[in-house]
Structure 1
Amino acid sequence: MLGRCDTPLREAYDVAVLDLDGVVYRGRDAVAGAPEALNAAQSAGMHLAFVTNNASRPPTTVGEHLRSLGVEASDDDVVNSAQAAARLLAAQLEPGSKVFLIGGEGLELALRERDLVPVSTVADAPVAVVQGYGPDLPWKQVMAGATLVHDGLPWVASNTDMTIPTASGVAPGNGALVRLIADFADREPEVAGKPQRALFEETLDRVGGERPLVVGDRLDTDIEGGVAIGWDTLLVLTGVTGLEELVAADPSCRPTYVAPDLAALAEPQPEVTHEGDASVAGGWRARVVDGALQVEGEGATADWWRAVAEAAWTHLDAEGQPVATDAVRPPE
């Protein structure tokens, strides 16, 4: 179940592999307290890697955004799925090989960095196809790329996220277009982004570190990817994951630690204990009665989430069904 750390996380781990949207910022604005928590972690000696499945923005653009929010970030500490996709292709192709691009500027720059040549027409005789999010993609380019994939060229997708956050709400992500091409071509791509290994491996190659901690807000990308590669994980509840998603998490996407926000980097993570059928964290006791979650007590918000996660997962593993959460509300 949940892990235990007797020292502040920023001391126990030498690099935080941080997701961005929902963890550091939401849209253009910082998550409350995130810049201060990250700068304090760096001052304490923790290296920060800013890792995103978004392949459209190059690291320089992301770095500028982070610094505008008050985060002490270097462009070299930003790693995206475009770089991981280019890494996969460079391992398969000769330098100078032409790659058909279905994507934006970030993917184009990543290919050139690996001495690969992005092209956008079939007449250029590409030997592979790479696909990532590009908000201004012309449909004829998508059709041409899909035909090449159907014909059997190697095909790498930066990520398969079905949605992306936008200023006007949730919109279809790269995964939606990947699914369209996959159905047309009757095959699946090699995927570079989270939860696959390539992006995590690219991150350590670029920023270094021996004791990484994956920090994210999504169970199905950030946490699942960390679990798969064998790295400890911290789920923060400032993004897309709420109570309903947390209690239903299967072992493949359960975090080592769970916390309300990035302030957890400065804190130890106490062990959740068990007293009879209750999971106990701080002043909170959580149990499941007739399939419904019950929580009693008072104390820190972080302890409430720890007690709830432990009780809910114990029930899920024993009964095969998530607990009902209608009668409980997280503390403010």
Structure 2
Amino acid sequence: MSDLLDAHDVLLADLDGTLYRGRGAVPGAVDAVTGAARRGTRTVYVTNNASRRPVDVAGHLAELGFPATEQDVMTSSQAAAAMLAEQLPVGSPVLVVGTEALAEEVIGVGLTVTTDPDGAVAVVQGHSPDTGWRALADATVAVRAGAVWVACNIDPTLPTERGPLPGNGSMVAVVRTASGREPQVAGKPAPRLLRDALRRSGARSGLVVGDRLDTDIEGGNAVDLPTLLVFTGVSGPAEVLAAPPALRPTYLAADLAALTRPAAELAPAARPGWQAQPGDDGTLVLSGDGAGSPEPALDALRALAAVHWAGKGGEVRVQPDGPAAERAVNELGLPTGADAGTGGSTTVASA
């Protein structure tokens, strides 16, 4: 029986929350990626993080055991620099709000870096933990004067070992508020980064893999590629049910081990052992026992998603009918009380 890897010649994989968390690899991720490589499916590592050089990202991945070289890494800083180069004459001065890694990408496409906001014809903005008020003020001056403005990404938060902290999108919001202008966006969910990654790979059938609905999945949908959401990072089952069409994944899986499973088993659809149907009071009713399923809770979610997405979608309460259904709903953390919601999710709310 064919599996998900048989249908794809490249994986466009997110990093944090998908392949690693903090300093360690997500359990099973290294085996999954190296196994895919042995079967001829390359992985291109696609990250919105613009603060590190591709060679440093590749080095980190290799240390964890992933088959990665500099040419396998695509960052939002590369995509942002390419966007600027298409719009500006060679040698144009660009104000860089970000790290040296971002500045090097700008220089690498034939542009120059300036610290003078009055002389800048463009501003590129990427995450740096050292960004302060003066840098944001200079960016505002240049943007307000008409400079081309490209944001590497607009992620509102950045996952850290201390929990979510302000990401590049929060800094972009400062300049947006002060200047009254909107940036062009290079990173996910905007299509440029994934398109560049797919073009570099030379592949014909890509699969976007990630842990966030509002960047990875929305980005994959924006470039009309199938998507696999893994529950090893940010987005959870309640968010999946509530997701609007642009954020809905093609496949759902616990982790990357699912790459060797048949695609039909991972897609939201009716699943053996479970029955999902709309309730009279606007709820979803889950019944059955998931008998024979290797992962009863996730199969319950796939069944629920198929029914809910075929209707109006949106936030919903799930009413379990029977002890097995109650166990599955509890394991998934789905809302069952009067206060339906996504648990304060930013991945759905921000969309």
Deviation at 1:25, TM superposition (A): 0.5
Q: Contact 1:286 / 1:308 at 8 angstroms: preserved in 2?
A: no
Further displaced range: 319-328 or 169-178: 319-328
Deviation at 1:81, TM superposition (A): 0.5
Determine the C-alpha separation between the residues in 2 that align with 1:212 and 1:204. 7
Deviation at 1:99, TM superposition (A): 0.6
Alignment partner of 1:323 is 2:316: yes
Counterpart code for 1:28: R
Cα distance change on mapping 1:29 and 1:150 into 2, 3 Å:
same
Listed as ranges, the matches of 1:63-78 within 5 Å are: 63-78=58-73
Structure 1: 5+ residue stretches without partners: 1-5
Deviation at 1:65, TM superposition (A): 1.0
Listed as ranges, the matches of 1:151-230 within 5 Å are: 151-230=145-224
Listed as ranges, the matches of 1:31-180 within 5 Å are: 31-122=26-117, 125-180=119-174
Counterpart code for 1:312: A
Further displaced range: 216-225 or 279-288: 279-288
Determine the C-alpha separation between the residues in 2 that align with 1:226 and 1:107. 24
Determine the C-alpha separation between the residues in 2 that align with 1:82 and 1:180. 20
Q: 1:38-68, CA deviations, whole angstroms, 9 ceiling, x for partnerless residues? A: 1001101101000011110111111111111
Q: 1:201-235, CA deviations, whole angstroms, 9 ceiling, x for partnerless residues? A: 21123222110100011111111111121111111
Deviation at 1:317, TM superposition (A): 4.3
Cα distance change on mapping 1:126 and 1:248 into 2, 3 Å:
same
Deviation at 1:197, TM superposition (A): 1.1
Deviation at 1:130, TM superposition (A): 0.5
Q: Contact 2:242 / 2:313 at 8 angstroms: preserved in 1?
A: no
Alignment partner of 1:311 is 2:304: yes
Indicate the SS of the match to 1:100: strand
Determine the C-alpha separation between the residues in 2 that align with 1:92 and 1:190. 12
Q: Contact 1:157 / 1:178 at 8 angstroms: preserved in 2?
A: yes
Determine the C-alpha separation between the residues in 1 that align with 2:315 and 2:169. 27
Partner of 2:227 in structure 1?
A: 233
Structure 2: 5+ residue stretches without partners: 320-325, 334-351
Determine the C-alpha separation between the residues in 2 that align with 1:176 and 1:331. 30
Deviation at 1:252, TM superposition (A): 1.1
Counterpart code for 1:213: L
Alignment partner of 1:297 is 2:292: no
Identical columns (%) = 43
Deviation at 1:126, TM superposition (A): 1.8
Determine the C-alpha separation between the residues in 2 that align with 1:111 and 1:25. 28
Determine the C-alpha separation between the residues in 2 that align with 1:236 and 1:273. 12
* Equivalent in 255, 260, 270 of residue 280 of structure 1: 270
Determine the C-alpha separation between the residues in 2 that align with 1:321 and 1:133. 32
Determine the C-alpha separation between the residues in 1 that align with 2:238 and 2:267. 22
Partner of 2:344 in structure 1?
A: none
TM-score computed with the length of structure 2 as normaliser: 0.85
Partner of 2:6 in structure 1?
A: 11
Q: Contact 1:108 / 1:118 at 8 angstroms: preserved in 2?
A: yes
What is the aligned length? Answer: 322
Cα distance change on mapping 1:283 and 1:118 into 2, 3 Å:
farther
Further displaced range: 298-307 or 61-70: 298-307
TM-score computed with the length of structure 1 as normaliser: 0.90
Counterpart code for 1:169: G
Q: Contact 2:276 / 2:307 at 8 angstroms: preserved in 1?
A: no
Q: Contact 1:316 / 1:322 at 8 angstroms: preserved in 2?
A: no
Deviation at 1:189, TM superposition (A): 0.3
Partner of 1:3 in structure 2?
A: none
